[in-house]
A and B are shown apart, each in its own frame.
Chain A
Amino acid sequence: MTFTEIITNGTFLAVLGASIAVVFAGMGSAKGVGIAGEAASGLISEEPDRFGQALILQALPGTQGIYGLLIAFMILNKIGLLSGNIAVSSLEGAALLGAALPIAVVGYFSAIAQGRVSASAIGIIAKKPEELAKGITFAAMVETFAILALLASLLIINGLTVVG
Chain B
Amino acid sequence: MAKTKYKELDYTYAVARLRALENNLLEANGLEKLLSAASADEAAKHLQTIGWKGGNFEEMLQSELEGLFSLIESLGGGEFLKTQRVKYDYHNLKVLIKSELTKQNGDNLIMNLGNIGADIIKNAVINRDYRLLSEDIKSAIALAYEQYARISDAQAVDIIFDGALFHEINEYVKELPEEKIPVLIKMQIDIHNIKTFIRVRKMGKSVGFIEKVTAAGGNIPREFYIENFNAPDNQDAGVFEHTPYRKVFSQDENLELSLDNMFMEEVKATRFGAFGIAPLAAYFWMKENEIRNVRIILICKNAGISEEAIRSRLRG
Contacts and interface: CB of A to CB of B under 8 A. Distances in A.
Residue from the set A35, A39, A120 with the largest chain B CB neighbour count within 10 Å:
A39
A125 B132 CA distance: 48
A95 to B, nearest CB: 37
Interface in A35-61: 35, 38-43, 45-47
Contacts of A46: 17, 20-21
Contacts of B274: 39, 116, 119-120, 122-123
B23 A123 contact: no
Interface string A104-141: 00000000000010011011001100000000000000
B19 interface: yes
B23 A126 contact: yes
Interface of A: 35, 38-43, 45-47, 116, 119-120, 122-123, 126-127
Given A35-B9, A127-B22, A127-B23, A122 B16 contact: yes
B275 interface: yes
Interface of B: 9, 12-23, 272, 274-275
A45 B17 contact: yes
A43 B20 contact: yes
B275 A42 contact: no
Given A116-B275, A119-B274, A39 B16 contact: yes
B20 A39 contact: no
15 contacts: A38-B9, A38-B13, A38-B16, A39-B13, A39-B274, A40-B16, A42-B12, A43-B17, A116-B274, A119-B274, A122-B19, A122-B274, A123-B272, A126-B20, A127-B19
Contacts of A35: 9, 12
A47 B275 CA distance: 19
B274 to A, nearest CB: 4
Contacts of A43: 16-17, 19-20
Contacts of A119: 12, 16, 274-275
B75 to A, nearest CB: 9
A38 B12 contact: yes
Nearest 10 CB-CB pairings of A with B: A42-B16, A42-B17, A46-B20, A120-B274, A126-B19, A39-B16, A42-B13, A38-B12, A126-B20, A38-B13
Given A116-B275, A119-B275, A123-B15, A42 B20 contact: yes
Nearest to A47: B20
Residue in B23, B272, B274 whose Cβ sees the most chain A Cβ within 10 Å: B274
Contacts of A41: 13, 16
Contacts of B16: 38-43, 119, 122-123, 126
Nearest to B274: A120
Interface centre among B12, B15, B18, B274 (most CB of A within 10 A): B12
A42 B20 CA distance: 8
A127 B15 CA distance: 12
Given A42-B12, A120-B274, 10 more contacts: A41-B16, A42-B14, A42-B20, A46-B17, A46-B20, A122-B16, A122-B19, A123-B16, A123-B272, A123-B274
B272 to A, nearest CB: 8
Nearest to A45: B17
Contacts of A47: 20
Residue picked from A35, A38, A45, A127, most chain B C-beta under 10 Å: A38
A76 to B, nearest CB: 34
Nearest to A124: B19
Contacts of A123: 15-16, 19, 272, 274
Nearest to B18: A42
B22 to A, nearest CB: 7
Contacts of A122: 16, 19, 274
A147 B274 CA distance: 26
A117 B233 CA distance: 53
Contacts of A116: 274-275
A123 B11 CA distance: 13
Nearest to B10: A38
Nearest to A122: B16
A26 B272 CA distance: 30
Nearest to A118: B274
A41 B16 CA distance: 8
A68 to B, nearest CB: 22
B48 to A, nearest CB: 20
A99 B225 CA distance: 67
